[in-house]
Chain A
Amino acid sequence: MSTGTYTAEHPEDSVNYLNVSSGLKSWLFTLDHKRIGVLYLFSIMAMFLFGGILAMLMRFELLGPGAELMTADTYNRMFTLHGAIMIFMFIIPSVPAILGNFALPIQIGAKDVAFPRLNLASWYVYVTGSGLALYAIIAGSVDTGWTFYTPYSTQVTGSVIAMVFAVFILGFSSIFTGINFIATIHKLRAPGMTWYKMPLFVWGIYATGVIQVLATPVLGITLILLILERAFGIGIFDPSMGGDPVLFQHFFWFYSHPAVYIMILPGMGIISELISTFSHRKIFGYKAIAYSSIAIAFLSFGVWGHHMFVSGQSQYATLVFSFLTFLVAIPSGIKVFNWVSTMYKGAITFETPMLFTLTFLFTFTIGGLTGIFLGSTAVDVHLTDTYFIVAHFHYVMMGGTIMAFFGGLYYWWPKIWGRMYSEIWGKISALLVFVGFNLTFFPMFVMGAQGMPRRYFLYPEKYQIEHVLSTGGSWILAAGLLIMALNLIHAMKWGPKAEKNPWGALTLEWMIDSPPPPHNFKETPEIEHGPYDHDKVLVKPGKVGATT
């Protein structure tokens, strides 16, 4: 382990976390939160690529109502793997494990996370879980959907156990990350970094950590019960053994609905950073945004039953879940209104991260509002399990979290690599992603409301127009993502050198060099201003911040 030895030997600015040591070992055994973030970056993006290719193949298959490209079995496996990969291996870890790991400790003035070894362990656990999931794909097949509903999942052949165990392992990675950030935020804030001086990104990750730690174990227990049932015939969920399949749905959604907020809260945190930075203005409603994150985390535990309005659960349960579901819409709405207000009388610039922020405002608002349709019991009966649901959660997950994640990637890229991406190509990619995303997923709202059920390999011809539009959109979206990938990869090595603070932002990571020195700060930073005090501190892009 060579990471501990640099400070004395290299006093100069040119030493950073990337060049302080080299060789595979220096990466595989690193305890530096920034390097672990980079390890996560490559492994998570590899899974994103894989999940994305599956999505493209499915969209291609759905060009026509018949069997165009594959068999029903292949298609069913593909949507299962697409869902499992994108949720458990991409979106859940994406923002916390990549950007959170990289930026959060610096943002609160810490030298590292509270438990660096646990942090590295979480990456190994992630890689193990993902590897096992890939094994499950290659060795056998899983076609249960990412939800693993019983009794289908206990009766069907295929490597369900391996896949479920993989998800179980991935859960630990998520728990480790959550514990680490909670402890880091509580214990490692620099002097003067009071709770209300923390960037809202930190608040978002904090709320996420709470859900990760409290909800993920329930998923773990549920999956273990599923494995016990499949492997040893212990009847828990399978009615032929005396179990109850609806119980599985309760257990599953008790985790998986809060998981939606594990996915969206960090994205909301990014948006808070970006909208203030690129409006060059103080954030509007700091406390409202911070508290609404906590409110969402709290309420998220009481809404799981809205996935089950037609499952046969009691109507009284449905009544309560419907009401709580509507309540959770309120804090999300508060956030959106505060973000929009942040632009009021600002000096708005439109770098690529800001374009993704605006895309987020557009798509996440649609995603959130369509949730109102689904929270309303009478309307949900018609819409649930159709493409309306598919469209809704893609607007929230991809239109929300992933758009914020892309914005965050572009935003912190100069800090991670010390080099700038191409702004022109960045804008082109953002535009293509915006157009492609909406063209892919908006038609799904229409066909879903018209009755097109989800997870259909073959479909009635009357839905073909929407499917064709959607597939066309997926090509534009893929083109945008490809350009983005090339742009970012090119910037890593060949981009022009980045300044300390290319955006004129005020959070601490922009006060230190790009890329950051190995221990972030040469001396303990003094916190003299809040993260968004654009009124008090004048920061010109490219110039050194007032605190250094």
Chain B
Amino acid sequence: MDTTGTFWMPPGSSTVAGDVDALFYFIFWASVFFFLVVVGVSAYFIIKYRRRAEDEEAKSHIDYNLKLEIVWTVIPIILVVIVFIWGFQTYMKMQIVPRDAIEVKVTGRQWMWLFDYPNGSTSVNELVVPVDRPIKLLMSSEDVIHSFYVPQFRIKQDVLPNRYTVSWFEANRTGNFDLYCAEFCGKGHSEMLGTVRVVSQERYTAFLETGGLGDQEGMSLMEIGKRLYRERACNTCHSVDGSPNVGPTFQDAYGHEVTLSDGSTVMVDANYIRESILNPKAKVVQGYEPVMPTFQGLLSERQVDGLVAYIQSLSEVEDMEGDTTETQVAEQDTAQTQEDTE
């Protein structure tokens, strides 16, 4: 199987990639041919018919040849008609979704990808699908236009705010494939990246069973938070090394006062972090725009606790007033959540 790609194309990893690449290379070699004709003939004329003496004159002033005009009109027409028909046939194959496709709802949001699976599981920025099964993507956007682009699958489809668009693919090998947003959508556009993780049917089933969040058994709250920081795409906008981004950094955030956009100050504690995750536009830090989407419904109580614990761990503040109480609260929450799930 094609896993290295070619000079021009990345490895093809979907059922349509081979068709697209075949057409690409047909056009490529036809173009190379015409390019060499134009440049080659020009080069030949330039060398052969360069003026050698000051007053040398052109040897011919022929300015018309009907046969030639017909030849270089008709041959390109034939070629482009071939390319047109071939291209459209392949395009229709890329457009018509197989009946037995698994439907995943894709939501574009500045700047993350949300995925909803048939059984109610969700994931952010990571689309997990089984290999060798057609996947239908029913897509819409919550804000501006985005575009769902997986180069290795050769698919791209704009994701619109006012209607559904559809795309589909069938990955023919397992692995992780880059997902890009290909329609400019603002500040975080180039960080609106994701991964399509193509796994075996068994692992896909296992993924769905855990609600799309993997096995959290035996993980501490901090570890869960650290994992969610990546999986729920906090890292798109918040750094953990102090560098500024779309949103404030998490490093040394906890336990410090920050100034809000209305000029007031607030202590970054567990409750502020919780509020900022679930209702992010309520208290925006000065200097940042109110662009963070809400994670209400995307995180369980335990997961919010995890993120609080993780952000806390990135701060060097040890003895903060009320620190212990909050930890206790978090632990209580945890206990409750576990009870709930039991």
Mutual binders A and B: yes
Interface residue ranges, A against B (CB under 8 Å)? 72-73, 76, 143-145, 149, 151-152, 155-157, 239-240, 243-246, 279-288, 310-312, 315, 318-319, 322-323, 326-327, 329-330, 333-334, 336-338, 340-341, 343-350, 358, 361-362, 365-366, 369-370, 372-373, 375-382, 384-386, 446, 449-451, 453-460, 532, 534-535, 538, 540
Q: Which of B12-27 contact A (CB under 8 A)?
A: 16, 19-20, 23-24, 27
Interface residue ranges, B against A (CB under 8 Å)? 5, 7-10, 16, 19-20, 23-24, 27-28, 30-31, 34-35, 38-39, 41-42, 45-46, 49-51, 55-65, 68-69, 72-73, 76-77, 80-81, 83-84, 86-95, 143-145, 147, 149, 151-152, 154-158, 160-163, 165, 178, 180-191, 193, 246, 289
Flag if B180 contacts A358 (CB, 8 Å).
Answer: no
Chain B residue nearest to A155 in the complex (CB):
B144
- A446–B50 CA distance with the chains assembled, in angstroms: 35
Give A480 Cβ to nearest chain B Cβ, in Å: 21
Flag if A246 contacts B45 (CB, 8 Å).
Answer: no
What A residues does B186 contact at CB under 8 A?
76, 143, 152, 156
Flag if A333 contacts B76 (CB, 8 Å).
Answer: yes
Give B293 Cβ to nearest chain A Cβ, in Å: 14
- A66–B67 CA distance with the chains assembled, in angstroms: 56
What A residues does B151 contact at CB under 8 A?
382, 450-451
Known contacts A347-B49, A348-B46; 12 further A-B pairs (Cβ under 8 A):
A155-B143, A286-B64, A322-B84, A330-B80, A343-B49, A346-B49, A361-B39, A366-B35, A376-B87, A378-B88, A382-B20, A385-B149
- Residue pairs across A and B with CB atoms within 8 Å: the count is 264
Give B176 Cβ to nearest chain A Cβ, in Å: 13
Flag if A372 contacts B72 (CB, 8 Å).
Answer: no
Flag if A334 contacts B72 (CB, 8 Å).
Answer: yes
User: What are some 26 contacts across the A-B interface (CB < 8 A)?
Assistant: A144-B184, A145-B184, A152-B144, A152-B185, A312-B158, A333-B76, A337-B38, A337-B68, A340-B45, A341-B65, A344-B45, A346-B45, A346-B59, A347-B51, A347-B57, A348-B49, A348-B51, A373-B24, A378-B23, A378-B86, A378-B88, A381-B20, A450-B9, A451-B180, A454-B184, A538-B57
A245-B145, A281-B58, A344-B60 known; A315 vs B181 contact (CB < 8 Å): no
Among B94, B160, B162, the residue within 8 A (CB) of A381 is B94
What A residues does B155 contact at CB under 8 A?
381-382
A326-B84, A451-B151 known; A379 vs B20 contact (CB < 8 Å): yes
Flag if A347 contacts B56 (CB, 8 Å).
Answer: yes
What B residues does A381 contact at CB under 8 A?
20, 91, 94, 154-156
- A336–B69 CA distance with the chains assembled, in angstroms: 11
Give A272 Cβ to nearest chain B Cβ, in Å: 12
What A residues does B42 contact at CB under 8 A?
340, 343, 358, 361
- A280–B57 CA distance with the chains assembled, in angstroms: 7
Give A98 Cβ to nearest chain B Cβ, in Å: 27
What B residues does A319 contact at CB under 8 A?
88
- A120–B30 CA distance with the chains assembled, in angstroms: 48
Flag if B20 contacts A378 (CB, 8 Å).
Answer: yes
A341-B68, A347-B49 known; A326 vs B80 contact (CB < 8 Å): yes
What B residues does A336 contact at CB under 8 A?
38
- A386–B246 CA distance with the chains assembled, in angstroms: 24
- A33–B221 CA distance with the chains assembled, in angstroms: 76
Chain A residue nearest to B8 in the complex (CB):
A449
